[in-house]
Structure 1
Amino acid sequence: MSESDPVDFEIARKKMVDCQIRPNDVTDKAVIDAFATIPREAFVPKAKQSVAYSELELPTVEGRAFWLSRDLSKLLQAMALKSSDLALVIGAGEGYTAALMNALVDTVIALEVDEDVSEASGELLSSLGYDRVAFVSGKLEDGYAAEGPYDAILVNGLVEYVPDAWLKQLKPGGRLGVVVGTPDAAHARIYTATEQAVSFRNAFECVPPALPEIKRERDFVF
């Protein structure tokens, strides 16, 4: 197929699921169905739509990029989401991850730093029929307490640490799915809250695109 030939996005979406998601131990039917139905190509600039389903960390809006589908699907599965959950997506960017969450849980709050990005992404999701997602703007490290506490919080990118505010916004039994580390090595973690404390387990290794807002301060060295 030449670059000028149109892409059959339904076929490309099926190949993504069959080649990138199913072979990586993702068996949750709801997660698979979400990736199989949501039009990933709608969330990238038109010039990049032909490679929307490639195994690439494709830039979307400033400071944000698609994860590899295998990693994002594994994290969503590990979070054990329920349809009744109230969820928060931190660093929601162009809205693709929020759309996936919309297919899995009752209500999604999607947090972004930039008000213009938040407004544009909210309008895109609304135009595509994802009407249980509310985009809001604010500092990522603060989470979004106004709509919490949450049953599930997904952090849409690699972070170097987990701010206390995110953990405090979990309901008892709530889960935080996040990848913690550096571009050299990182683990997907599932934090689970109880009435008394929060604990975590490492689920698998991966290094998705970083959220540049959540970095540790570096000591100055002469």
Structure 2
Amino acid sequence: MDFAAARKVMVDSQVRVNDVTDRALQAAMLAVPRERFCAPERAFSAYADTPVEIAGDRRLMLPRDVAKLLQALDVQPGERALALAAPYAAAVMARLGATVVAQDSDPAVAAVVAPGLADEGVELVEAPLTAPHGSAYDVIVSEGAVADRPEPWIAALRIGGRLAVVERRGPAGRAVLYVRGREGVSRRELFDAAGQVLTEMRPAPAFQF
């Protein structure tokens, strides 16, 4: 399979047509080998307009949704970035010139994505997603959805830092952008999305009496 040709088709048909106009971001997505961040036997579908298996029940986010999240973050060269359950987004941010830490709690996922992340110069950390590794990040992104506002993730931002994530409680969700300020945190809704809710970021079951 010609993966370079597939990348170009992906960017032309899924990214550019969805109002992703940042040329540096487009170039980064044209350069990153997305097939290295999914299950090897699913590499043929890495550029399809569908979530692609990494390991177990974990999937890569749709290329369109990753692109729109990263465009909203406006990642700049030299910024410190944290990618939570977001190996492909981590690689793209590294291509944009950020210093990136990729964090995942699933050893099976880490085993699949580690070689590709290493080649992109991304540090990989295995730790619970509920406890971000480090602090004072300029940008944080997740390819998995969350059920509620992720307070620990917001707390890991520096003042002026940005977090992009999909919030989902039902069949549909919304991508949102949080910006941490000195006096509080702002929240802006970006677009409709239906990402897979991360198991660790689901609400605890409520007992009824």
Q: TM-score range by the shorter chain?
A: over 0.9
Separation in 2 of the partners of 1:41 and 1:57? 12
TM-score, normalised via structure 2 length = 0.92
Bigger Rg over Cα: 1
119, 140, 154: which is aligned to 2:129?
140
Separation in 2 of the partners of 1:144 and 1:162? 18
- Number of positions where the alignment pairs a residue of Structure 1 with one of Structure 2: 209
Separation in 1 of the partners of 2:61 and 2:109? 18
- Asked if structure 1 preserves the Cα contact closer than 8 Å seen for 2:38 and 2:60, the reply is no
Shift of 1:29: 0.8
> Is 1:199 matched with 2:186?
yes
> Is 1:49 matched with 2:43?
yes
Pair 1:71–1:88, CA change in 2 (3 A): same
Separation in 1 of the partners of 2:45 and 2:193? 22
> Following superposition of structure 1 onto structure 2, how do residues 35-184 of structure 1 map, counting pairs within 5 Å?
35-92=29-86, 95-115=87-107, 117-118=109-110, 121-126=113-118, 129-131=119-121, 133-145=122-134, 148-184=135-171
Instruction: Report the counterpart of residue 3 of structure 1 in structure 2.
Output: none
Q: CA offsets per residue over residues 67-103 of structure 1, 9 Å max, x none?
A: 11111101110111111210001113xx222111111
- Asked if structure 2 preserves the Cα contact closer than 8 Å seen for 1:170 and 1:193, the reply is yes
Shift of 1:157: 0.9
Identity %: 35
TM-score, normalised via structure 1 length = 0.87
14, 20, 25: which is aligned to 1:20?
14
Shift of 1:51: 1.6
Q: CA offsets per residue over residues 137-174 of structure 1, 9 Å max, x none?
A: 211111123xx210001022111012322111111110
- Asked if structure 2 preserves the Cα contact closer than 8 Å seen for 1:161 and 1:216, the reply is yes
SS of equivalent residue, structure 2 residue 50: coil
Shift of 1:218: 2.7
Shift of 1:193: 0.9
- Asked if structure 2 preserves the Cα contact closer than 8 Å seen for 1:149 and 1:169, the reply is yes
Separation in 1 of the partners of 2:110 and 2:45? 24
Structure 2: stretches of 5+ with no match in the other structure: none
